[in-house]
Amino acid sequence: MKGLLEILKIILIGIVEGITEWLPISSTGHMILLDELVRLRFSDEFLEMFLVVIQLGAILAVPVMFWRRLSPFGYKNRPEERKRILDLWLKVIVGVIPAAVLGFLLDDLLDEYLYNYVVVAIALIVYGIAFIVVERVKKDKKYRIENVYDISYKDAFIIGAYQFLSLIPGTSRSGSTILGGMLTGVSRTASAEFSFYLAIPVMLGASLLKVLKFILAGFTVTLIELLLLFIGILVSFIVSVFVIDFLMSFVKKHSFSAFGIYRIALGVIVVAFFLIKTYA
């Protein structure tokens, strides 16, 4: 019975990860609340690794959903298409540089000083307001770039610099890159798609780095923990496929204002929850 309960918890966490990783609503904010409500009975070290590694499931959904747009080696691809896809990958690498370098240098400091509910709540609310404001400013205005392949190397680096802000818990990686893209002149659709592509090396690198730290620290996992890790990855992958498809359809017809309102509401809930918990 205990084992079944833990599996159900893992499935719930995988669902939340698959949804919140791609929607600009902050997976960290949701995970903090979820951790308070659904506690796994494992070591803190395993839980820390688990919450990062299940992102692998989410990230695997991107190449599955966009395989033809990301793979330059398809037998049907003409030479100019291969060149365009390889060029896109180079832009992704350029876009990853700011967050990758600063994230590697500041990882421990950010975890120590910024990973708390106050910072998360502030980031949720501030970025929620930012989405609403940007959407109003950009309303009915034509974007400079409508297709992800037309993003320049300069655009890619600027969007990547915005992605650095996602290192602040509660900000949202997808939210930072999408906002950065829109402010740079890239359409919602192209910004969202480029955000997915940027996630591949960023999330893959973060997961592998966390696993490496886990191993070097001398920690080991049991067969049960490996099974739960696999279940979490599988669930987050399946959910991510549906969420990515939903978001790409949503942004073609709607603005991000609804997500901004949701973020503000969630930020208020996070503050209220921990204040009640502290003073009750």
Q: pLDDT tens, 104-142?
A: 777 677 777 777 888 889 999 999 999 999 999 888 788
User: Measuring CA to CA, which residue among 100, 68, 72 is closest to residue 84?
Assistant: 72
Residue 145: per-residue pLDDT: 95
Residue 74: per-residue pLDDT: 67
Q: What is the residue-averaged pLDDT of the chain?
A: 87
Token pair in block for residue 103? 């994230």
Q: Residue 268: what residue type?
A: V
**Unique residue bearing structure tokens 């910024």:** 114
Q: Are 162 and 179 in contact (CB under 8 A)?
A: yes
How many CA atoms lie within 13 Å of 219's alpha carbon, on the beta-carbon side?
A: 18
Lowest-confidence region among 20-24, 65-69, 143-147, 216-220: 216-220
User: Measuring CA to CA, which residue among 84, 55, 57 is closest to residue 71?
Assistant: 84
Give the count of domains, the chain. Answer: 1
Residue 170: per-residue pLDDT: 86
Residue 249: per-residue pLDDT: 92
Domain coverage including residue 272 = 2-279
Q: Is the pLDDT of residue 190 over 90?
A: yes
Residue 2: per-residue pLDDT: 56
Residue 1: per-residue pLDDT: 56
What are residue 186's DSSP bridge partners? Answer: 145
d(CA 2, CA 45): 21
Residue 25's φ and ψ, nearest 5 degrees, are -125, 5
Is-above-0.85 flag for pTM? Answer: yes
pLDDT band at 280 (very low <50, low <70, confident <90, very high): low
